Amino acid sequence: MDSLDLQVLAQARDWFRAGHKVWLVTVLETWGSAPRPPGALLSLRDDGLVVGSVSGGCVEDDLIDRLRHGERVGQPSLIAYGVTKEEAARFGLPCGGNLRLVQEPLQSVVWIDEILERTSRHELVARTLDLETGRVTVESAARGDSFRFDGHALRALFGPRWRLLVIGAGQLSRAVAQMALTLDFEVICCDPREEYNLTWDIPDTLFSKQMPDDLVVELQLDPHSAVVAVTHDPKLDDLALLEALKSPAFYIGALGSRGNTSKRRERLRMFDLTPAEIDRLHGPIGLDIGAKTPAEIAVSIVAEIVAVKNGIVLMQKKEGSSVPATRAAVG
């Protein structure tokens, strides 16, 4: 899910309530180098205004042209682009990319209100569209779910599929949280220290004053979860890492120099962790980009998390850093 898609739904709802006819266009399938993934949304207004994106621009132009020439579908219908090399070139689909869309008239915005309200509470929900009837249903979804289209119905996800737990509420944590939010992570910050938690004011994040290790257990971290420990306090960082390293979280990292990381690994060996579990720890965290300021360090950390999430081998690391083996990206 891309936060842009929620913006598309909100704009479509507002247009509909203002008396306009509105159509939603969803990417169903792509082949080759299509620029937008399945589930990406576009909203088209009856006067040709558009919000969102399903391609690099030329497909949007064609959809607007169809509308202005009277092609206004009354029920969900399929549209294909880039079937031939000529069409692929015309519609900006490089390397012979192909794109299949479904266009649907917006009949009600009740389901949009439900999606926007539930995602504002950090829920992950699925919207199912029956192509034969146009009926839309909304239900709870799990982070392991993905976009699906079986030829009769499409099921698209809205809400945070990825979750980041930040241990510590200092300046670096604030920068990491803000960047992760822009990448559609659900962000949770945990810090029981009063001098830090009283000043946490990052909108759209969750905050906990629990002991970090208790929160890690409570959250039941899954393969769509990441943990970053940045307090510099072993009593907080190490206990949280101890629990996180037992979980299936896709990324677990802690701030500190190579020397401090080595000492931390020695401390972790005193607990009930296997060598394989300890070897999952990223440290020092962040890609080597010469970062100096909190914002630059945050960029290096978030970039590393995204790389691991996408199954990319980490090459740009300082010599001697602990770099766990890259796992396949989680869907």
Using one digit for the tens of pLDDT, what is the confidence trace for 31-56? 665 567 889 999 999 999 999 988 76
User: 130 and 222: one domain?
Assistant: no
CA dist 323 to 141, 280, 285, 288, Å? 32, 8, 9, 12
Same domain, 182 and 69: no
Q: Are 152 and 218 members of one domain?
A: no
Q: Are residues 97 and 229 in the same domain?
A: no
Give per-residue pLDDT as tens, 166-206: 999 999 999 999 999 999 899 999 999 988 878 899 998 99
Same domain, 150 and 245: no
Band (330; pLDDT cuts 50, 70, 90):
low
Q: Are 197 and 191 in contact (CB under 8 A)?
A: yes
pLDDT at 281 over 90: yes
pLDDT over threshold 90, residue 267: yes
Whether residues 20 and 112 fall in one domain: yes
Q: Which domain holds residue 150?
A: 3-158
Residue 32 lies in a domain: yes
Residues 129 and 179 in one domain: no
pLDDT in tens, 92-135: 555 556 788 999 999 999 999 999 999 888 788 999 999 999 99
Last residue of a domain, one of 130, 158, 186: 158
Q: Are residues 256 and 154 part of one domain?
A: no
In a domain, residue 320? The reply is no
Residues 152 and 58 in one domain: yes
* Axis crossing angle, helix 234-244 with helix 258-268, rounded to the nearest 10: 60
Name residue, tokens 């008239």.
105
- pLDDT surpassing 70 at residue 90: no
Q: What share of the chain is helix, strand, coil (3-state, %, to 5)?
A: 35, 25, 45
Q: Quick check: is 189 in a domain?
A: yes
Looking at residue 283, the DSSP 8-state letter turns out to be: B
In a domain, 319, yes or no: no
- The per-residue pLDDT for 323 is 76
| Residue 325 within any structural domain of the chain | no
Strands 251-254 and 225-229: parallel
pLDDT tens per residue, range 221-236:
988 899 999 998 888 9
Name beta bridge partners: 305.
none
With respect to residue 259, please indicate whether it lies within any of the assigned structural domains.
yes
Number of domains within the chain: 2
Residues 55 and 110 in one domain: yes
Residue 171 sits in the same domain as residue 302: yes
**Pair 142, 192 in one domain:** no
